[in-house]
Structure 1
Amino acid sequence: MSQDKIYNPKHKVRIVTAASLFDGHDASINIMRRILQSTGCEVIHLGHDRSVEEIVNCAIQEDVNAIAITSYQGGHMEYFKYMYDLLKKENASHIKIFGGGGGTILPEEIEELHKYGISKIYHPDDGRVMGLQGMINDLVSKSDFTICSQEFLPKNKEIRNKNKKAISRAISIFENNSKIAPKINKDISSLAKKSDSFVLGVTGTGGAGKSSFVDELIRRFLQDFSSISIGVVCVDPSKKKTGGALLGDRIRMNSIADSRVYMRSMATRKSNRSLSKSIFDTLLVMKAANFDIIILETSGIGQSDIEIVDYSDLSLYVMTPEFGAPTQLEKIDMLDFADFVILNKSDKIGSLDALRDVQKQYQRNKKLFDLPLEKMPVFGTISSQFNDGGVNGFYFELLKKLKLRAKYFFQSSPVLIKASKSSTLIPPQRIRYLSEISEMIRDLDSEITAQSELAELIFSLNNSLALFKDENIRLEIQKKIQTLSLKIGDDVLNDLKSYKGTILNYKEDFFSYKVRNKKIEVSNFYQSLSGSKIPIVSPPNMSSWKDILVWLRKENFPGYFPYTSGIYPFKRVTEDPTRMFAGEGSPERTNHRFHYLSSGMDSIRLSTAFDSVTLYGRDPEKRPDIYGKIGNAGVSVASIDDAKKLYSGFDLSDPTTSVSMTINGPAPMVLAFFLHAAIDQQCEIYIKKNNLESKVDKKIASIFKNKTKPKYYGSLPKGHNGLGLYLLGVSGSDVLSEKVYLQIKNDTLSKVRGTVQADILKEDQAQNTCIFSTHFALKMMADIQSYFIANKIRNFYSVSISGYHIAEAGANPITQLAFTLANGFTYVEYYLSRGMDINDFAPNLSFFFSNGIDPEYAVIGRVARRIWARAMKYKYNANNRSQKLKYHIQTSGRSLHAQEIAFNDIRTTLQALYAIYDNCNSLHTNAYDEAITTPTEESVRRAVAIQLIINKELGLAKNQNPLQGSFIINDLTDLVEEAVLSEFDRITDRGSVLGAMERMYQRGKIQEESIYYETQKHTGEFPIIGVNTFLNSEGSPTIKPDTVIRSTQREKNNQIKEVNLFKENNKNELQASNSILEEVVRKDENIFEAIMSVAKKQSLGQITQKLFQLGGEYRRNM
């Protein structure tokens, strides 16, 4: 296939790129922004989860030609229209808007948006016709115009009043060498001379964390000085070959959204400079605007670059401990000129020595030998940590200097901020844990090989005894057998001897085993319609001790270590692994869907999809970019009352009920809502059982005096018994005695079954629903597990360590498995460092994988179980229960295509077959129409039927170990296992999981694999039936759904009404609740315990906002 010609823009085209609000799907926009850069554009990339207001403000401050947005989470109509309206309101209608969202934006919606004024919404069919470069060419050509026209000339008064559009246009005029520049230069120079602005220069090596450090400084300035105005200029390098540039500093900065901050990103427009050639004029404009402080950040510099000193009143040099030998410091010119040196990322091994080396070099350079090293202005910082003590120490010293030299700060009285308690997540001495696991497994395999050779010799010698009658020869053989037996060990010999007995057990009519001291007896055979006795577990037919030992050590029977073929001896015949994902609209609508899915099922397995507003921890509200997303692509849950309505009619404490919740960033709050819903259900049962209704009714009436009670909207679904709705708006603790309530609470917590996803590492690497700073979020994960241990919550998984979203972001099956297991072992190491016992928390860990059609997916569960079991047993000395890896499978969403959607069920069926044959513990099969809409009842029924037909009708599925003994499965298992272990070693080389994340290794690898797949798909090298080959007579266009399921205006309005009512009813509790959270964070106690306390009286958004203040917001990555 010929390469598309790249469009060559005539002007410097600047474009803002982002994913829409509450949308973490950034794989596509990352591909697009890369192609935009290579097409010569300067791209200001904001990353995922960006509001319309943020993007419009950025576009105006950056004076861009266009905005390019991806939107995959619904609400696109409101989002794009609101953006257009806001640009119009800001007199910036010249900025063009482009967008895309795969099949989620329907053709008629695209047409409506085009008519409204959106420049272009790209559809999958556009991609097929135009190609990726073709779409970018179209976008860039439409945006290729000059912005420095006579239409808008900035006025002096506007610049002085800090009008951001005027400041931006003035900078653009200078940056583009416009003929208009001389007309405004004199006036701006005059204004600048009268300015009191103070310029703080920040420079340093690439990757030192300058943007994060600057963001932390800005946050402190804004927090301490209510009237301060801050100007920020960040410079990034241009590519010499294309002229394009990635202006990526904004993505790392959370504080600049404040109205007191103006920021401009600039490209050097020369590849060998750290500052733009127009930086002098840019600073003139900023000074003319009279910002109290101007922060100038350069691109990453080399050892001899000191350009920033010429432009700043005070300069900082930011570096990391990884500078090599101390002699390298002598080559860094900035250590001669910098007023402060920041040694960032000081949590790394050797950072204390590095700090001392830098202090010594600074002392030598400045000839400050009369002062101790500790007095050198060199600070060890960890700017990625919220409220870091090192940053606070520097900030305090900076304020002392500013008080003497910068007019705004003359009257300031800086107060030293109390730092948050700093803690290392993984102790430095444990940093090699992944390679230790891979080395241990390889050593085990070598030992198995050696032992199996010895076993074969013993086996052969035993067989030889039958051939010889001479007693001397027989005696020699027996001596040899004895010698070899001592070498091989009793445990191996015992396993070999018991092997035959186990085989015989499988030949009997029934097989018995024990689970938690309870004897279980199951039939060994299934009788087919032909009368054949089909073995439920088919044991191997081997006689060679070598083959038997290798099989026992690497495979073994189902339910036996290393659990390669399954963690249980037999499946439960009364409980299929079906667990269907559901969530749409209001809690009431999803409650109806849950009852529909559970109808006629022996056990209740509810799997909850939340809308994007909930996924990002916010409350529903009227603002258009939020309003459009309420209840779309998931259920809206903003309070404990929503959780009660959502799961009403199901006894959440029943042993046959299990609830899974796909929620990550705000998982602590949503989990607390769920647990309280379960507790209050049991309080309701207690009240009715003990005939306390009239007494409780009076208490409830008293609580709601002059207040409005919440309600369940609409009729109850068929089979709903009303359970869970009696205590809407109140807690069981409000109406029962403390003693009774605590007894019910403890009993409920010990019984409740289910899973909360809560996997923060995966979120940072792939899915992007992190909302809190990573360190703070991981602490809350560990706090949840600690709470589970303390409250004996043994049947609920505190985390679902997820590879599914890693795969959905573009990773291949090996990368998905390797990253997921690596994340799992990282949690193990972190929880151990917190003092938890491995056998207290390992049983609360579960896993979640995607299943595609690639060959490696056939063995993903086998490999995961084997690696986990061996690591748990031999490295962590864990017990049998902890060694058993439990995992959920969801068929691949990425393999659902908007063309020929009927073919999707075929793909899903094959993926389900992989999962069932590999003995997954639970399974969700996607509906065929999910590529274009929220699933309908008809499509969901078909998806459930896929599983039921395999489990109930497919004859081979009656056998529970169909993969064992296959040559290709054995080869694939070994191949994938070694690939995973090799990936472990690569991650270790990058500082283990957390170090690799800092270098964006996982994110980069996922993006590369995503681009590879998309390219192969586009060129047709990877055939996809009905998409790029075997097209129908119409060319297999994207199919328009017959029914589009979206939340209704009534549902959205009801959700807004209910959450506002909840806040109003509990407003008197807000201050006390906030005080509880503040106190717990200050004392470094269990945050989840505090959330359990306040969740009864605070909404999701209220808790989220308070925790942002206490623990910091997530800082995005590329």
Structure 2
Amino acid sequence: MDVEKRRDERRTESGIEVKPLYGPPDLEGFDYQEKLADPGAFPYTRGPYPSMYRGRPWTMRQYAGFGTAGETNRRFKYLTENGQTGLSVAFDLPTQMGRDSDHELSLGEVGKVGVAIDSLLDMRDLFDGIPLAEVSTSMTINATASTLLLLYSLVAEEQGARPEQVTGTTQNDVLKEYLARGTYIYPPAPSMRITTDMFAYCAKELPRWNTISISGYHIREAGSTAVQELAFTLSNAIAYVEAATKAGLEVDEFAPRLSFFFNAHNDLFQEVAKYRAARRMWARIMRDRFGATDERSLKLRFHTQTAGSSLTAQQAENNIVRTTVQALSAVLGGTQSLHTNAFDEALALPTERSARIALRTQQILANEGGLTDTADPLAGSYFVESLTDAVEEEAWEYIGRIDEMGGSVKAIEERFMQAEIEDAAFRYQREVEKGERIIVGVNRHAGDEDPEMDLHTVDESIRDTQSARLAELKEARDNAAVDRALARLKAAAEGDENLLYPMREALSELATLGEVSDTLRGIFGQYKP
């Protein structure tokens, strides 16, 4: 390659070459029915529903959670009053790790990166005055997903909601915790058992609940490329389907409630291609690999969040523009719901002002941008269709390599995916430091100083408040009933009974999240990488 050509070469951050111009030769032999078809028709490249946003816009689901349940409840109501159309809960690290707020390992973390939920009392406060029969709720929770779902369903039941009225999603994707994030509790095998028990429980008891949101978001946040995000997410999804079918579930019994969670990063056209390729690949995986016949099992539905890792502390207002570009990619790619990050999140949790700006970003796109008028407006673009094919081809190569290793669990145990992500993150950072990748306000167009901003702070006394509440709870509840319920949970964990039924009984008797998790730790152990 001569120097001039090399200097002009452009590639996506996944390394896919981008030509200066695309035209008919790039789509020679392109088969519309095989590659695209109409929206709502196999292979769903153009979207899972015929009318897409012309029927109704995507759900605007802003992620929120901090401090106590009461504080987060007030933020939910604030966002709803400002036009949010779905709830999304962030939990603090102790809740994610199965520790009560009064545990010694919770010191310094209670209420910091999300809301603290120790028991049914906190879940009641979190949704006080919010009718759970009428609202869809997403919960970003993994190792303790079953516990939080059961607490949520108990509150919904107390409100008088029927099981078929309870709608929403638990992230419940523990494989990516071993891979990219780290909030796991138990080893992979018992974690997969809890996941498949939840599939079976919801199929019977909560028919409209999305039991898992198989997450590429955190894989991307850890430094992966778009292609790696897609490939590793679908490989993990394959592992969940295989585990469920081995547990005796029929694929069309649980697959319609599977959902996905993707990252929206800065390269707009690559992100659009990623979403479109994901739908096409999943449809073929479910039909050809697992023999699914229910079309709902073939449709990949996904939530998107804009890229937290792309936010800069320098010139933080620039993040509003980054988030807008990222949100645009998600909408043009056909997302079902969307969270837009607040511009100050590189510095602190969002303030009410920054959270409102993030929500208004979505509302402007939906109401002023003409984006809801027609389904998949980029279909047929020489560039977009070529890029979709290229992303898909490279993702299939990764999936093939993972299959040869024995699947996602084996690949995670051998640290294949972790190493690939680490290499990609290193390359990206090196490009930034060399100035080969421009970050406005950081390595190009940087200013001398940033203006002062009001930032959100979390009250350090929250742990004391939660600990006092736990002490009162344990004094007032029927501790003998709690002990009996936890003993039944222990016996179920030692056998092969579905864990969610005895877990629900224990939680209804006011067992705490930490007590439930410790009971399972006693049988399953705790994962050490």
Provide the TM-score with structure 1 as the length reference. 0.44
Say if 1:851 and 1:857, in contact at 8 Å, map to a contact too. yes
Does 2:136 align with 1:658? yes
Structure number, greater radius of gyration: 1
Say if 2:57 and 2:372, in contact at 8 Å, map to a contact too. no
Between the aligned partners of 1:1063 and 1:963, the Cα distance in structure 2 is 58
> Deviation at 1:871?
1.9
> Deviation at 1:1052?
3.0
Equivalent residue number for residue 1021 of structure 1: 436
> Deviation at 1:622?
7.4
Cα–Cα, structure 1 residues 838 and 809, in superposed 2: closer, same or farther, change >3 Å?
same
Correspondence list, 1:1071-1090, <5 A: 1071-1090=483-502
> Deviation at 1:750?
2.1
Q: 1:1064 aligns with which of 464, 475, 483?
A: 475
> Deviation at 1:672?
1.1
Cα–Cα, structure 1 residues 1040 and 827, in superposed 2: closer, same or farther, change >3 Å?
farther
Between the aligned partners of 1:881 and 1:768, the Cα distance in structure 2 is 32
Between the aligned partners of 1:766 and 1:578, the Cα distance in structure 2 is 26
Equivalent residue number for residue 96 of structure 2: 615
Equivalent residue number for residue 194 of structure 2: 780
The residue identity in structure 2 corresponding to 1:627 is: L
Q: 2:310 aligns with which of 881, 895, 918?
A: 895
How large is the Cα RMSD of the aligned pairs?
A: 1.8
Over residues 103-146 of structure 1, what are the superposed CA-to-partner deviations in whole Å (9 max), with x where a residue is unaligned?
A: xxxxxxxxxxxxxxxxxxxxxxxxxxxxxxxxxxxxxxxxxxxx
Say if 1:782 and 1:831, in contact at 8 Å, map to a contact too. yes
> Deviation at 1:956?
4.9
Say if 1:932 and 1:1040, in contact at 8 Å, map to a contact too. no
Does 2:348 align with 1:866? no
Q: 2:71 aligns with which of 558, 580, 589?
A: 589
Between the aligned partners of 1:1095 and 1:604, the Cα distance in structure 2 is 29
Cα–Cα, structure 1 residues 965 and 933, in superposed 2: closer, same or farther, change >3 Å?
same
Say if 1:766 and 1:806, in contact at 8 Å, map to a contact too. yes
> Deviation at 1:786?
0.9
Between the aligned partners of 1:956 and 1:848, the Cα distance in structure 2 is 21
> Deviation at 1:802?
0.2
> Deviation at 1:1090?
1.5
Between the aligned partners of 2:356 and 2:90, the Cα distance in structure 1 is 17
The residue identity in structure 2 corresponding to 1:850 is: N
Equivalent residue number for residue 886 of structure 1: 301
Correspondence list, 1:452-601, <5 A: 550-571=31-52, 573-599=55-81, 601=83
Between the aligned partners of 1:673 and 1:912, the Cα distance in structure 2 is 32
Say if 2:173 and 2:213, in contact at 8 Å, map to a contact too. yes
Equivalent residue number for residue 950 of structure 1: 365
Equivalent residue number for residue 236 of structure 1: none
Q: 2:184 aligns with which of 744, 754, 770?
A: 770
> Deviation at 1:980?
0.5
Provide the TM-score with structure 2 as the length reference. 0.91
Say if 1:679 and 1:748, in contact at 8 Å, map to a contact too. yes
* SS at 1:928 equivalent: coil
Between the aligned partners of 1:1041 and 1:1056, the Cα distance in structure 2 is 35
Between the aligned partners of 1:669 and 1:871, the Cα distance in structure 2 is 30
Between the aligned partners of 2:371 and 2:461, the Cα distance in structure 1 is 49
Does 2:91 align with 1:677? no
Equivalent residue number for residue 235 of structure 2: 822
* SS at 1:580 equivalent: strand
Between the aligned partners of 2:392 and 2:101, the Cα distance in structure 1 is 45
Correspondence list, 1:194-343, <5 A: none
The residue identity in structure 2 corresponding to 1:799 is: I
Q: 1:844 aligns with which of 244, 257, 265?
A: 257
Equivalent residue number for residue 1092 of structure 1: 504
Cα–Cα, structure 1 residues 600 and 906, in superposed 2: closer, same or farther, change >3 Å?
closer
Between the aligned partners of 2:346 and 2:307, the Cα distance in structure 1 is 11
Equivalent residue number for residue 646 of structure 1: 126
Over residues 675-720 of structure 1, what are the superposed CA-to-partner deviations in whole Å (9 max), with x where a residue is unaligned?
A: 11111111xxxxxxxxxxxxxxxxxxxxxxxxxxxxxxxxxxxxxx
Correspondence list, 1:154-165, <5 A: none
Cα–Cα, structure 1 residues 973 and 574, in superposed 2: closer, same or farther, change >3 Å?
closer
Between the aligned partners of 1:1099 and 1:963, the Cα distance in structure 2 is 50
Correspondence list, 1:656-1055, <5 A: 657-682=135-160, 748-791=162-205, 793-854=206-267, 855-878=269-292, 879-1032=294-447, 1034=448, 1039=450, 1042-1055=453-466
Between the aligned partners of 1:994 and 1:1080, the Cα distance in structure 2 is 24
> Deviation at 1:989?
2.7
Say if 1:1062 and 1:1099, in contact at 8 Å, map to a contact too. no
Between the aligned partners of 2:116 and 2:496, the Cα distance in structure 1 is 31
Between the aligned partners of 1:991 and 1:559, the Cα distance in structure 2 is 33
Between the aligned partners of 1:961 and 1:997, the Cα distance in structure 2 is 35
> Deviation at 1:943?
0.6
Cα–Cα, structure 1 residues 882 and 604, in superposed 2: closer, same or farther, change >3 Å?
same
Say if 1:951 and 1:958, in contact at 8 Å, map to a contact too. no
Over residues 905-948 of structure 1, what are the superposed CA-to-partner deviations in whole Å (9 max), with x where a residue is unaligned?
A: 11110011111111100000000000001101111111111111
* SS at 1:848 equivalent: strand
> Deviation at 1:1019?
2.0
> Deviation at 1:758?
0.8
Between the aligned partners of 1:1019 and 1:789, the Cα distance in structure 2 is 52
The residue identity in structure 2 corresponding to 1:922 is: S
Say if 1:1063 and 1:1099, in contact at 8 Å, map to a contact too. no
Over residues 958-1014 of structure 1, what are the superposed CA-to-partner deviations in whole Å (9 max), with x where a residue is unaligned?
A: 332211010010111100000010001111232221221111111111111111112
> Deviation at 1:626?
2.6
Does 2:524 align with 1:1115? no
Cα–Cα, structure 1 residues 1040 and 666, in superposed 2: closer, same or farther, change >3 Å?
farther
Between the aligned partners of 2:178 and 2:46, the Cα distance in structure 1 is 31
- The aligned length equals 498
The residue identity in structure 2 corresponding to 1:873 is: R
Say if 2:231 and 2:395, in contact at 8 Å, map to a contact too. yes
Query: Which consecutive unaligned segments of at least 5 residues does structure 2 have?
Result: 1-23
More deviation, 575-584/859-868: 575-584
The residue identity in structure 2 corresponding to 1:974 is: D
* SS at 1:824 equivalent: helix
Over residues 630-683 of structure 1, what are the superposed CA-to-partner deviations in whole Å (9 max), with x where a residue is unaligned?
A: 1111111111111111012111122xx10000011111111111111111111x
Equivalent residue number for residue 5 of structure 2: none
* SS at 1:1092 equivalent: helix
The residue identity in structure 1 corresponding to 2:457 is: R
Equivalent residue number for residue 506 of structure 1: none
* SS at 1:644 equivalent: helix
Cα–Cα, structure 1 residues 956 and 1065, in superposed 2: closer, same or farther, change >3 Å?
closer
Say if 1:794 and 1:843, in contact at 8 Å, map to a contact too. no
The residue identity in structure 2 corresponding to 1:637 is: I
The residue identity in structure 2 corresponding to 1:661 is: M
The residue identity in structure 2 corresponding to 1:1061 is: E
Say if 1:933 and 1:1041, in contact at 8 Å, map to a contact too. no
Between the aligned partners of 2:494 and 2:225, the Cα distance in structure 1 is 42
Between the aligned partners of 1:593 and 1:586, the Cα distance in structure 2 is 11
Say if 1:902 and 1:928, in contact at 8 Å, map to a contact too. yes
